[in-house]
Amino acid sequence: MILRFSLLLLALLFTGGCAHHSLTPPQDVLEHQRQVQAINDWTLTGKLGIRTTEDSGSASVKWVQKIANYQINLSGPLGQKSMIITGTPDKVRLEQTGEPAQEAKTAEALIKKSVGWTLPVAQLAYWVRGVPAPKLRITHLQQNQNGLIDQLIQGDWSITYSNYRDQSFNGVTLPLPGKITAEYKDVRLVLVIRDWHLGSAQ
């Protein structure tokens, strides 16, 4: 149970329909990244798979981001319990069915307390949208034929993107990832995003 809880917490903070769609390449890649980074209100839903040397499984994921606040819901077969993590600039709260809630000042601190090492949670909100996280050294970046990120290595995480799909936002077409594979040491996460909902911009 402790191992499953650890895997769930790792999975929870990394979060594509797989059908092929026509894609509109951005005319200016840097402008595309600027536009995506400017969206501060968004929601994604999908399915998350996780595999380590000791365990594997999958779960449904819903991530709601509103400026600096977020809520991530994880439910399904993985761990057999629903989990909700709610973050604000001041604290992060983790709730799991049948377990006492846990809180910490940051998501990184909460994960460190629960599983013993840190994930760059603040960067994940950028990575899931297919853009590099700011203020973090890029070790490797490879673009696809449309100029979108195909592979990104930051903070020792290797992130591979595929199945980009066009999303409409304020009259602009923005390609966003439909599938993300992230690897760090013996942890492999696969996020398949079914739906994106884009809200306000900065």
Return the pLDDT at 54. 74
Q: What's the whole-number mean pLDDT along residues 42-57?
A: 85
- DSSP secondary structure string, 153-179? EETTEEEEEE--EEEEETTEEEEE-SE
pLDDT band at 17 (very low <50, low <70, confident <90, very high): very low
Measured in degrees and rounded to the nearest 5, phi and psi for residue 165 equal -135, 145
Answer yes or no: is pLDDT of 38 > 70. yes
Q: What's the whole-number mean pLDDT along residues 99-117?
A: 77
pLDDT band at 127 (very low <50, low <70, confident <90, very high): very high
Q: Please state the length of the chain.
A: 202
Q: What's the whole-number mean pLDDT along residues 81-93?
A: 86
Q: Tell me the range of 13-27, 70-84, 106-120, 173-187 where mean pLDDT is highest.
A: 173-187
Of 118-127, 161-170, 172-181, 193-202, minimum mean pLDDT range? 118-127
Return the pLDDT at 95. 85
Return the pLDDT at 139. 92
From CA 2, how far away is CA 12, in angstroms rounded?
Answer: 15
Q: What's the whole-number mean pLDDT along residues 16-40?
A: 65
Owner of token pair 């606040």 = 69
Q: In terms of residue numbers, what domain contains 6?
A: 2-198
Return the pLDDT at 202. 54
Owner of token pair 């894609």 = 23
Q: Which of 37, 92, 80, 86 is nearest to 62 (CA)?
A: 86
**Average model confidence (pLDDT) across the chain:** 80
From CA 177, how far away is CA 148, in angstroms rounded?
Answer: 9
Return the pLDDT at 1. 44
Answer yes or no: is pLDDT of 12 > 60. no
Angle at 118 between CA 114 and CA 120, to 5 degrees: 130
- Domain count of the chain? 1
Q: What's the whole-number mean pLDDT along residues 112-117?
A: 63
- DSSP secondary structure string, 55-113? -EEEEEEEEEEETTEEEEEEESTGGGS-EEEEE-SS-EEEEETTS--EEESSHHHHHHH
- 149: how many CB neighbours lie within 10 A of its CB? 20
CATH number at residue 20: 2.50.20.10
